[in-house]
Structure 1
């Protein structure tokens, strides 16, 4: 389910978000252009209004001067004391003022006509065009937003079937919960393996029976929720009962011993088995790394241009030392297991695996000599990683293969979706096809399976529903 949410997020970021960001930049540019055009038209109308006001003031001043000069001329013409030359002078001044007034009047009339034309054009054509552009821009924004919403819905719609399948799986898993079986699993996990204490014997002191300090008090045989004295022995030592009784006692836990001998028998065997499995898993990992170094060394030996084979000797030696250390650890814990199970002997070696660093070094040296070169396969993108336990025969192996070439069945799986094998090592599968699990996902997203026709290979882990046997045994 989380992977589908990631798919939704990637699609939204790759398509919807990118388109919206491009649209945002385009709308910003268009809006700026329209607003600048509107501001320019307003400035033109304002300048035309200022010129009209200036022409009007000029006309008013010229008209006032003409009226004043006309009044002066009339007074001079009526005054009998003034000479004819002075009257003529007043007449010339009056004519000049009247002419200036007419010119100012004509200029004012022309400027008024220009302003009226600009104002009519501004309110009937220019600004409506600007507003129309802004409206079309906003409609385009709304349309693109609508398309983005449709895209989001389509992306969500595409993953709904898969999410519904996941939800059905969750509901199915919840329906498979069985309280009785779960409680039995808890009881099984906390079983101690100690026998039930024997009845306390009556001690008749009147008959002269000796008093046994170990049985002198009934408290020595009383089973308490936290511990039981003399409940059992491991290696001849008295042990305290643990397991489920520890649920009612103190939560303080002392440091466990290396061989887990401080635990009850059943829990000790379980802990030892877990430790053995952990060591085997680590050995498998180191063996896989060793095989990779071997192949790389063979490649360097066949083509010196790629690298010097001697540079890998240190890594090979370190890997051999790790394998030898793990082998000794495995032998030690197998001995502890044999002691816990009461066996006389323990396994000293792993079948089909070399037990010393010298044999590993010998196999490494012989493999690098060119007698049996290892093949280095180059996988296409998406091919299952080679970190799974798939090994090539190594010089020095008598049978040519070891225990890691045989994969036991560890569970079953069902295909949730069909898959077409397009890479080496993968196998195709149909929807709802049942298969056996041979190897868990090692972190590369692939799981090794075996089909009903016997073919084996890798399939995507996210395409199958897994059910492991070891989960049922817990």
Structure 2
């Protein structure tokens, strides 16, 4: 079944049908284009939503809670979902819309070509029919003229009154008309034969071929619509696995939420370290106590009139109102970090015990980082001086001397400051421990001859944490005896580690959660008292680097590397000529290498 034989006389209808088909194909193309636009807009709105709810820098401290971490992971997954919708839109644009527009253009041009061919064939047949009509009219006229000439000759031949010359004239006219009639008859017969042959070719081969081409174009159009629909489905189905992974990631983010862990973080963040006030003693005035003494005892209890703003204030206790005022002055509970060190006392003795310990830990960590940088800078200057001494053509060693002296002076100053704050930290920890011990030994409450401990938030886990912090202080402070017996339950450190904990260089196996890590971070797991040391959280690599030259580590904090070795980039050059890297393979080793010896490539953010 084809159009050439079944629809041989439906040229105009086929022309209109193919035009409508192309218009429908264009309409489907507009639909896919609008669908891709919607995908782009949806992805853009998802990204804008994620950007709107990204944590601000001032709120980063709150994102240590598991619920906030889960929300942050959820936003990352939503951002990935937006990327998948962009992939759908891009693939629709490249694989469907582009090909569809090209197909519409080709079909339209091919249809125009076939219709022009059909018009040409039709015009040729029409011209031949007109020629046939003219030849037929000429033959008809010649035939009537011949009959009239014959009739005139017969009348003349029968009329005896006409001369012989007149009869011959009629005979000659009859012969001429007969010849013209025969010529017109032959021309008519020839045009009729030619017309029939052309008409036969037109309706049996010429026009059917045109209709067949139009049929193929229409079938091609319909088939490609089916293929485009299938391609659109495949494009969307291909992103389903990634979308499912994003949804799985959101479920994992939900599993990260731990209400107990967040509760511990709140305790760690806001715990002051003070103990609840003792019971108010009863003053029996009938025993002869002086009124002034009783009044003095009562006056020692400072009762606030606004119980809603913090209850009562007892000596050694900070109310909620006083704490709010202190936070407004020193910003110790805000996001300014160590601003309280500059605004308040140097040893932070004006802070609550637990908050003081946290701030001192942060200050010690900051000083350790600065000591590590200055140490790396000094090592770099020493190495440069050694190179100049070995090869004077490269430079004068004396030019490095001034910089080396300044670096040594800064390093000595930082180390002295570090020791001073380590001493403050040790005092703060001892103060917390002694306060807890005094609370236990001086408690007036006795149950069956045994002391009744207050539930003041001081658990065994907390004591272990404090003991661990004290042990870490003994590690970081070189003046403390490393062989000193630590508190019961306190994990022993691996003092045989070759990397100095003060420098902060090399591997970080001696880092403790109490000092070397963020005190506000809580991973929900208690430390194993049987382990020799604790692993600190490794910094995420910023990129990769490749060694251009071999390097042998000659100073503490640096690591060797072979030529063409690839390493992870942990920290960029801070202006001292050294870059912090970590090995990608084998034993986990981290340290500094010369910046000029490597070629770095940063990850895309």
Q: How high is the TM-score relative to the length of structure 1?
A: 0.50
Residue in 1 that maps onto 2:187: 103
Q: State the alpha-carbon separation in 2 of the partners of residues 193 and 120 from structure 1.
A: 105
Q: State the alpha-carbon separation in 1 of the partners of residues 587 and 121 from structure 2.
A: 84
Alignment of structure 1 residues 156-235 onto 2, 5 Å = 163=245, 167=248, 174=254, 177-197=257-277, 199=280, 209=292, 215=299, 219-220=303-304, 224-226=308-310, 228-232=312-316
Residue in 2 that maps onto 1:241: 319
Residue in 2 that maps onto 1:456: 587
C-alpha distance 323-144 of structure 1, shift in aligned 2 (>3 A): farther
Q: State the alpha-carbon separation in 2 of the partners of residues 279 and 22 from structure 1.
A: 60
Alignment of structure 1 residues 55-454 onto 2, 5 Å = 55-66=131-142, 69-70=145-146, 73=149, 77=153, 85=169, 88-89=172-173, 92=176, 95-96=179-180, 99-100=183-184, 102-122=186-206, 124-125=208-209, 127-128=211-212, 131-132=215-216, 135=219, 163=245, 167=248, 174=254, 177-197=257-277, 199=280, 209=292, 215=299, 219-220=303-304, 224-226=308-310, 228-232=312-316, 240-242=318-320, 253-254=328-329, 256=331, 258-259=340-341, 263-281=351-369, 284=372, 337=425, 403-408=504-509, 439-444=538-543
Runs of 5+ in structure 1 lacking a partner? Answer: 233-238, 353-392, 413-434, 460-474
SS in 1 for 2:273: coil
* 1:120 Cα deviation from its structure 2 partner: 0.7
Q: Answer whether contact 2:508 2:536 (CA < 8 A) is retained.
A: no
* 1:404 Cα deviation from its structure 2 partner: 1.7
Q: State the alpha-carbon separation in 2 of the partners of residues 251 and 89 from structure 1.
A: 141
SS in 1 for 2:194: helix
Q: State the alpha-carbon separation in 1 of the partners of residues 367 and 277 from structure 2.
A: 37
Q: Answer whether contact 2:125 2:198 (CA < 8 A) is retained.
A: no
C-alpha distance 41-408 of structure 1, shift in aligned 2 (>3 A): same
Q: State the alpha-carbon separation in 2 of the partners of residues 411 and 45 from structure 1.
A: 94
C-alpha distance 54-22 of structure 1, shift in aligned 2 (>3 A): same
Q: State the alpha-carbon separation in 2 of the partners of residues 297 and 18 from structure 1.
A: 60
Question: After superposition, what is the alpha-carbon deviation per residue over 1:309-337, rounded to whole angstroms, capped at 9, x for unaligned?
Answer: 99x98xx89x9599769768757865765
Q: Answer whether contact 2:302 2:312 (CA < 8 A) is retained.
A: no
Runs of 5+ in structure 2 lacking a partner? Answer: 1-75, 157-161, 332-338, 432-472, 479-497, 514-533, 545-567, 571-581, 591-605
Q: Answer whether contact 2:371 2:503 (CA < 8 A) is retained.
A: no
Q: State the alpha-carbon separation in 1 of the partners of residues 201 and 329 from structure 2.
A: 101
* 1:444 Cα deviation from its structure 2 partner: 3.4
Q: How high is the TM-score relative to the length of structure 2?
A: 0.42
SS in 2 for 1:404: coil
Q: State the alpha-carbon separation in 1 of the partners of residues 541 and 142 from structure 2.
A: 107
C-alpha distance 409-338 of structure 1, shift in aligned 2 (>3 A): closer
Q: Of the two structures, which has the highest relative contact order with CA contacts closer than 8 Å and spacing of 6 or more?
A: 2
Q: Answer whether contact 1:192 1:264 (CA < 8 A) is retained.
A: yes
The alignment covers a number of residue pairs equal to 368
> Are 1:42 and 2:133 counterparts?
no
Q: State the alpha-carbon separation in 1 of the partners of residues 392 and 225 from structure 2.
A: 63
C-alpha distance 406-89 of structure 1, shift in aligned 2 (>3 A): same
C-alpha distance 65-409 of structure 1, shift in aligned 2 (>3 A): farther
SS in 2 for 1:258: helix
C-alpha distance 440-93 of structure 1, shift in aligned 2 (>3 A): same
SS in 1 for 2:508: coil
* 1:110 Cα deviation from its structure 2 partner: 0.3
Q: State the alpha-carbon separation in 2 of the partners of residues 298 and 93 from structure 1.
A: 131
